[in-house]
Chains A and B, each alone.
Chain A
Amino acid sequence: MADLNININGLSLKNPVLTASGTFGYGTEFQDFIDLERLGGFIVKGTTLKHREGNPYPRMAETPSGMLNAVGLQNKGVDYFIEHIYPTIKDINSNILVNVSGSTIADYVATAEKINTLDHIPAIELNISCPNVKEGGMAFGTSCVSASEVVKEVRKVYKKHLMVKLSPNVTSIQEIALAVEGAGADSVSLINTLMGMAVNVKTRKPVLSTITGGLSGPCVKPVALRMVWQVAQVVKIPVVGLGGISCANDALEFLLAGASAIQIGTANFIDPTVTIKVIDGINDYLDQNGFKSVKEIIGLI
């Protein structure tokens, strides 16, 4: 049994496997299938200051080895989360992170400030990369100036671990990563979805109500891996890798490329027990290859 513990800049994980926001609900949706306490952590659905209805249906299109989504941050708002959802999950012995999003910097700040008061939430993942909202979201994450500005403002009010989720829909993800590191991020997670599109030739219309959506699943893995490797080369803060991870082998690729932890997203839809298989698979790999700790393989490339 190898040591799977990892500390990412103060955030202590019992193993490097987290779940990606938007693919794991509030964790409880998966309770019939797995023991949530085995996870390094889980990142709950994107949360905004006010209730959001999200985008109209249709919001999803299956693609070869993946899917497009255009959910648009549907959630009941941070106050609802604190009052109704947090009490039902706070005692789960795992790291529960809240993914925080907003349309304006003031929204991000106000939401982060409220989450900061919750004892059982050790970190937030600041979502400056959602491609499915008209205002805010990815707009903040595609320029160094705005990315830096929103992180700087949130940093002033948020006292715990601040992870910033980056968009792949940029010219240089390294520059954005450096900008958010400079603004006070404790870690970066990447990649959010790649912007894509699908057309129904029978109706001659776009499949998604929003025309474009975010691509996820195994089809994005090589792009995600490349970006994780690139970012890990230039930043000093830990990198959390995600994008198409569906098995232990995929997770190991990200760790070797420089990720200190990984997130599993879309694969949860096909196999709700995939996270446990990945944790066990990482352990088996370490044992079989003579590594005593997962830390030994991070960034070997």
Chain B
Amino acid sequence: MKKLIDFTVTENKRLNHDTILLVLHSDELPEIQPGQFVNVRVDRSPSTFLRRPISVHDVDESRGLLYLFIKIVGCGTSTLGELQIGDKVNVMLPLGNHFSLPTSGKPLLIGGGCGVAPMLHLSRLMKARGLSPVVLIGTRTDKDILRKEEYEKYATVYYTTEDGSFGEKGYVTQHSVLKEKFDHIFCCGPEVMMKAVAGYANQNNINCEVSLENTMACGIGACLCCVTDTKEGHKCVCTEGPIFNIKDLKWQI
């Protein structure tokens, strides 16, 4: 069941020049699956009309904490970056479908830029289920590699940077770890990156799920603004996604 909750900010930490970690608390925190998102109302930003859909970075059910890893791109997210400890934030959640959690096999989780956000929640649950997830993080430079120690708690983590400042130089699809055999790929990041990953998965016949982030208004399947083209016609990213299996999309890969 979806809820509308006033959370309290317990932490708002700037991770680098354009990314924040926002930690919110509520005793009513509902169960959230990896890959789901929340729709955050942005108060005190006159130019921000709609809620901002943000993917869930992680949750701590026992303490009622919701972790959001947010890239600041405009006035709305910038205002979220200014929230102080104790401020209230109205959040609609949990929204959308979720990544499927395999029971066996070797999973590869690929995150590009702030698309790495949901991979923490996913890798933590995979490890708890006895799987050994591999996480591959691709960024522009070493300054964009954030929360490294957190990911390394649950997964074997590899890195690519476009400038070679950390890990292997280049894009995620060029990383040497892809020579290993994987059974599942889960990917979130810029569309161009996800399409490249989808191409790799397709060629190697690996089941692959991607997380889309189309612009949306309602977040609950009412406005039909956020559709993506699938083999079964237009589907709402907010309710029938954000996670799609690449075999259902009409991507040219």
Partners in one complex: yes
A residues adjacent to B (C-beta < 8 A)? 22-25, 29-30, 32-33, 45, 53-54, 56-67, 69, 71, 74, 217, 266, 268-273
- B4 pairs with A59, CB closer than 8 A: no
- A67 pairs with B217, CB closer than 8 A: yes
In this complex, how many residues of chain B approach chain A with their Cβ under 8 Å: the count is 30
- A62 pairs with B1, CB closer than 8 A: no
B3 on interface, CB distance cutoff 8 Å? yes
- B224 pairs with A54, CB closer than 8 A: yes
- B215 pairs with A29, CB closer than 8 A: no
Q: Which of A45, A56, A69 contacts B217 (CB 8 A)?
A: A69
- A25 pairs with B221, CB closer than 8 A: yes
Return the chain A residue nearest B215 by Cβ: A60
Check A60/B49 contact, CB under 8 A, given A33-B2, A54-B234. Answer: no
- B50 pairs with A62, CB closer than 8 A: yes
- B49 pairs with A59, CB closer than 8 A: no
Interface string of B71-85 (1 = CB under 8 A from A): 000000000000000
- B223 pairs with A65, CB closer than 8 A: no
- A30 pairs with B222, CB closer than 8 A: yes
B227 on interface, CB distance cutoff 8 Å? yes
Number of A-B contacts (CB under 8 A): 90
Return the chain B residue nearest A46 by Cβ: B224
Return the chain B residue nearest A218 by Cβ: B49
Interfacial chain A residues near B224, Cβ < 8 Å: 22, 45, 54, 59, 71, 74
- A272 pairs with B4, CB closer than 8 A: yes
Check A269/B51 contact, CB under 8 A, given A56-B229, A57-B229. Answer: yes
A58 to B212 Cα, complex, angstroms: 13
Q: Which of B49, B227, B233 contacts A64 (CB 8 A)?
A: B49
Q: How close is B23's CB to chain A, nearest CB, in angstroms?
A: 24
A56 to B225 Cα, complex, angstroms: 10
Check A60/B216 contact, CB under 8 A, given A54-B224, A69-B225, A74-B224. Answer: yes
B21 on interface, CB distance cutoff 8 Å? no
A54 to B233 Cα, complex, angstroms: 10
A266 to B50 Cα, complex, angstroms: 9
- A25 pairs with B222, CB closer than 8 A: yes
B210 on interface, CB distance cutoff 8 Å? no
Interface string of B21-50 (1 = CB under 8 A from A): 000000000000000000001000011111
A64 to B221 Cα, complex, angstroms: 23
Check A67/B4 contact, CB under 8 A, given A29-B222, A60-B215. Answer: no
Q: How close is B172's CB to chain A, nearest CB, in angstroms?
A: 25
Interfacial chain A residues near B41, Cβ < 8 Å: 270-271
- A29 pairs with B220, CB closer than 8 A: yes
Q: A217-B49, A269-B217 are in contact. List 5 more A-B contacts (CB 8 A).
A: A24-B222, A29-B218, A29-B220, A30-B222, A60-B223
Interface string of B227-253 (1 = CB under 8 A from A): 111000110000000000000000000
Q: How close is B130's CB to chain A, nearest CB, in angstroms?
A: 34
- A64 pairs with B234, CB closer than 8 A: no
Interfacial chain A residues near B3, Cβ < 8 Å: 32
Return the chain B residue nearest A65 by Cβ: B49
